[in-house]
Amino acid sequence: MDNKKILNQFNKKANEWLVDLRMMDEEVIQIKPSETSWSISEVYDHVMRVARSYQIPNLQKSVTELAKRKKRKNKYGIAIFDLGYRKDVHIKMEKFPKPLVEAFTPAKRDKRDLVKDFLSFIKEVNELQDILEKSGKDHKQYHFMFGDINTREWFSLIELHIWLHDKQKAKIKRYIETKELCIEC
């Protein structure tokens, strides 16, 4: 996949999320279907936290001398990045290394702040285009679930992560509209 297509894919998904966020009321984005589930504001916050604390730093690191390579890309990385396989999965954060869980745990945010931050996030991700343009397939950084993945794959992981949370966001919205029990929101 070329850089322009990767960037367009991210912008399309991010703009869908931005429009959706702008259309929801402050009260709606704070509703949690259960004690253990997240609100919509927390889903947005989580997506940005993961990108800013893990995906973007590793993308940036992949083009430096500090890049760490531990294991070749595994079957999961090949399926996702080489074959374009996307499966609706439900990943529990508790299975991640403890420092990542702490960094990825979302905070409750008010709508105005969240919209402003999401706009800033979209801009930050788009500013990575220069790194994408300068990177090659040999620029890699280790990902604990996929093995060594290259800069473009780190970038596409940002959009993939948003895509993975689409279903969660839809379930929360359905709960808000219907008060239907939501087990895995």
Rounded Cα distance between 66 and 54, Å, is 15
**C-alpha torsion 134→52→171→183, nearest 10:** 130
Going by pLDDT thresholds of 50, 70 and 90, the confidence category of residue 104 is: confident
Residue 75, in any domain of the structure: yes
Percent of the chain exceeding pLDDT 70 equals: 90
Structural domain includes residue 43: yes
Amino acid at 119: L
Residue 183 lies in a domain: no
Residue 21 lies in a domain: yes
Residue 36 lies in a domain: yes
What residues make up the domain containing 48? 3-178
When divided into structural domains, the chain yields a total of 1
Residue at 151 is within a domain: yes
Residue 50 in domain: yes
11-22 per-position pLDDT tens digit: 999 999 999 999
Band of pLDDT at residue 140, cut at 50, 70 and 90: very high
Q: What is the pLDDT of residues 64-95, one digit of tens each?
A: 988 888 899 988 889 888 888 777 666 666 66
Nearest-angstrom CA–CA distance, 8 and 114: 22
Tokens of 66: 């500090």
143 beta partners? 147
pLDDT digits (tens, 9 = 90+) for 113-133: 999 999 999 999 999 999 999
CATH number at residue 97: 1.20.120.450
